[in-house]
Amino acid sequence: MSNGKSNNNNLPLVIIGLVLVVALAGGWWFYNKSKKPTTGVANNSRPVNTATKPVQTPIVSNVLGAQPPNLLGSPNALVTVEEFADFQCPTCGAKHPLMKEIISTYGSRIKFIFRNFPLQIPAHDKAYDAAVAAEAAGLQGSNKFWEMQNLLFTNQATWTANPDYRKVWEDYAGKIGLDVEKFKNDMAGLNAKARVDADLARGRALNVSSTPSIYVNGVIVQFEQMNIDAMRQIIDAELAKSQGNSQNPKSSSAPTNAAPAEPKNK
């Protein structure tokens, strides 16, 4: 009798333990199941167009984007890394250190191009203006674009939460040595906006639907591959290919401002 009562006393704990085990095991199983790449969507920031995207086929577009592009590395490099990003996208901010590491690792062996792709959704209400701010900074020198780009990503949480975010950007402009009045005028003017619009047009032409979207020689990098090891593997493979092709006169004549996603190995 007392044994039966003691079993009953333990029953809630058994149920709680059971639920904990099932939750952990089920969660782990579902995590592993979900982790397997099933679509070409680059990340979770925009769950749209989840239909399969070509995974290994280089994507080509005649829409060039802003010219000259925001470029680091060598314009003559045979390997192009092109990133489409949104300054208000947390994942883009999280991947910013990775892109910096790629740029510093490969230097002039790659052509790194940053494309503005502000998502036009209510949650990213400052993204377009942020892209314009970066481009307005770039109008005072290309290195100023990169300084502003870096500040916008590294301080993303600060300015996104600030209702007076334009003032924050003006402070950044002052901090990186811009003529703040010119910066404000350029933000209101058409030149910086035109560059953002050109990048957006290129992104749309390439069917970019999520940020960050990264292409290496026109081949999309899957989100799971957006880490230093996988990116290095991809870029190293492209570098090895390009070295093989550099003896081929056809592939060594890439123009400086050619469409960066243009595949060179057709």
Partner 1 sequence: MSDAEVLSEQSGNKIAKLPLAAALLALVGLCDAIYLTIHHYTYVPVPCGEGFDCGAVLTSPYATIGEIPLAVFGAAAYFVAFSLTILAAFGNRLMWKFFGVQAALMAVFSIYLIYVQAFYIHAFCQYCLLSAATSITLFIIALVSRFWRS
Q: What is the dihedral of CA 207, 209, 210, 214, to 10 degrees?
A: 0
Nearest approach, Cβ of 94 to partner 1 (angstroms)? 9
Residue 157, interface with partner 1 (CB under 8 A)?
Answer: yes
Which of 6, 51, 107, 125 touches partner 1 by CB under 8 A?
Answer: 125
| Residues pairing with 79 in the sheet | 110
- Could you give the string, one character per residue 162-201, with x where binding to partner 1 holds by CB under 8 A and - elsewhere? ----------------------------------------
Query: CB-based contacts of 210: which residues, under 8 Å, 6+ apart?
Result: 41, 42, 43, 44, 45, 46, 47, 48, 49
Q: What is the dihedral of CA 86, 89, 93, 94, to 10 degrees?
A: -130
Q: Which lies closer to partner 1 via its Cβ, residue 129 or residue 135?
A: 129
Binding to partner 1, residues 84-113 (CB under 8 A): 89-91
Buried b / exposed e over 58-96, threshold 16 CB at 10 Å, is bbebeebbbeebbbbbbbebbbbbbbbbbbbbebbbebb
Site size for partner 1, by CB under 8 A? 38
By CB under 8 A, which span of 120-128, 138-146, 193-201, 212-220 interacts with partner 1?
Answer: 120-128
Residue 20, interface with partner 1 (CB under 8 A)?
Answer: yes
Residue 16, interface with partner 1 (CB under 8 A)?
Answer: yes
Please give the backbone phi and psi of residue 32, each rounded to the nearest 5 degrees, phi first: -65, -40
Which of 46, 53, 96, 202 touches partner 1 by CB under 8 A?
Answer: 46
Q: State the DSSP H helix or E strand holding residue 254, giving kind and residue range, or none if neither.
A: none
Beta strands in 56-141 (DSSP E): 70-73, 79-85, 110-116
Binding to partner 1, residues 239-258 (CB under 8 A): none
Residue 38, interface with partner 1 (CB under 8 A)?
Answer: yes
- Going from the C-alpha of 107 to that of each of 95, 100, 113, 202, 218, the distances in angstroms are 18, 10, 12, 25, 19
Are 151 and 157 in contact by the 8 Å Cβ rule? The answer is no
Nearest approach, Cβ of 257 to partner 1 (angstroms)? 33
Q: Which lies closer to partner 1 via its Cβ, residue 16 or residue 240?
A: 16
Residue 76, interface with partner 1 (CB under 8 A)?
Answer: no
Amino acid identity for residue 70 in this structure: N
Q: Which lies closer to partner 1 via its Cβ, residue 32 or residue 247?
A: 32
Positions that interact with partner 1 (CB under 8 A): 8-9, 11-12, 15-16, 19-20, 23, 26-27, 30-31, 34-35, 38, 41, 43-48, 50, 89-91, 121-125, 156-157, 160-161, 223-224
